[in-house]
Amino acid sequence: MIDVEHLTRKFGEFVAVHDISFQVERGEIFAFLGPNGAGKTTTIKILTTLLAPTAGTVRIDGLDPTRQSTEVRQRIGIVFQDPSLDQNLSAWENLELHGALYHVPRKVRRERMESLLTLFGLWERRAELVKQYSGGMMRRLEIARGLLHTPKILFLDEPTLGLDPQSRNQLWSHVKRLNQDEGVTVFLTTHYMDEADRVAGRIAIIDHGRIVSLGTSAQLKAHTAAATLEEAFLALTGTEIREESGTSTDRMRMAARAWRGR
């Protein structure tokens, strides 16, 4: 379903993704596990047509994201790591807009909107502008929106960052159900090893833009002679702490917030 060969992406001289190759099978749940700045988001952006690769080939359901971008987009759904809501629309309007962009028929759209908003505890406050929402509520809305249409491949980029345990639980149950009942292939990234352990079939550990290990949770543990996935992860990536390097976009966004008084 996803076929990546020798993928490299540079930003100027800096190599964010360094010659990685992997395959994800149809109906699989596949996790990218790695510290901050490992290249997870960059990889997802390339797979979802938002960035072009510097070198290497990518196939999504047999299609090239660079040249057949619309066809690829018809097959995917994504929950971004960073905010991507329209703050000046209500939750309901954000979902309506998404449903229209993804051609979800009106009747189905309304039904799903109601059930997802209820599932993530936002139904009562659906008419409020998103800028009135708390960070956690925005995050839940992002996830609800990502699940509104049923894609062939669902990309989840650190979806549980900033989520409470209840919502986290709802999310993973829902994702597993989609995977089992609808055969949706799932590509996720996370910081939380227990989550990867719980939901993912296979896990790739990525660090400094390279895949350092790939296999089932049991294989990774056996490979490093570790008792838990966390130990395996630390054995493979070291214990040094990585700072999120705050891109200019992030800084700009903060400045904009401050300026707008939020």
Ligand X SMILES: Nc1ncnc2c1ncn2[C@@H]1O[C@H](COP(=O)(O)OP(=O)(O)O)[C@@H](O)[C@H]1O
Tokens of 74: 């018809």
Answer with the entry of ligand X, Mg ion, other proteins, none that 87 interacts with (C-beta below 5 to 8 A by kind): other proteins
Q: Which does 217 bind (CB under 5 to 8 A by kind): other proteins, ligand X, Mg ion, none?
A: none
Spell out, one character per residue from 35 to 74, where the chain touches other proteins: x when CB under 8 A holds, - when not: ----------x--xxxxx-----------------x--xx
Contact of residue 11 among ligand X, other proteins, Mg ion, none (CB under 5-8 Å per partner type):
ligand X
Element (DSSP H or E) covering residue 6: strand 2-11
At 138, the amino acid letter reads M
Between β-strands 2-11 and 55-60, what pairing exists: parallel, antiparallel or unpaired?
A: antiparallel
Q: Does 237 bind ligand X (CB under 6 A)?
A: no
For other proteins, the closer of residues 98 and 112 by Cβ is 98
Element housing 106 (H / E): helix 106-119
Residues in 232-261 at the binding interface with other proteins, rule: CB under 8 A: 248-249, 252-253, 256
Helix axes 91-101, 135-146, angle to 10 degrees: 20
Closest CA to 206 of 28, 20, 77, 4: 20
Amino acid identity, position 63: L
The nearer residue to ligand X, 70 or 249, going by C-beta atoms, is: 249
Smaller CB distance to ligand X: residue 49 or 170?
Answer: 49
For the chain, the maximum distance between any two Cα atoms, rounded to a whole number of angstroms, is 53
Can you tell me whether residue 257 is helix, strand or coil?
helix
- The CA–CA distances, whole Å, from 130 to 85, 92, 251 equal 8, 9, 21
Report which DSSP code applies to 132: G
Q: Binding mask 131-160 vs other proteins (x if CB under 8 A, - otherwise)?
A: ------------------------------
Alpha-carbon distances of 255 from 35, 91, 246, 251, rounded to whole Å = 26, 24, 13, 6
CA dist 92 and 98 (Å) reads 10
37 binds, among ligand X, Mg ion, other proteins, none (CB under 5 to 8 A by kind): ligand X
> Interaction with other proteins in 89-108: which residues (CB under 8 A)?
89, 93, 96-98, 100-103
Q: Which of 23, 81, 219, 224 binds Mg ion (CB under 5 A)?
A: 81
Site string for ligand X, 3-42 (x = CB under 6 A): --------x--x-x-----------------x-xxxxxxx
Please check whether residue 188 is in contact with residue 31, taking contact to mean a CB–CB distance below 8 angstroms.
yes
Segment lying near Mg ion (by CB under 5 A), choices 15-23, 78-86, 170-178, 215-223: 78-86
Binding stretches for ligand X (CB under 6 A): 11, 14, 16, 34, 36-42, 245, 247
Binding stretches for Mg ion (CB under 5 A): 40-41, 81
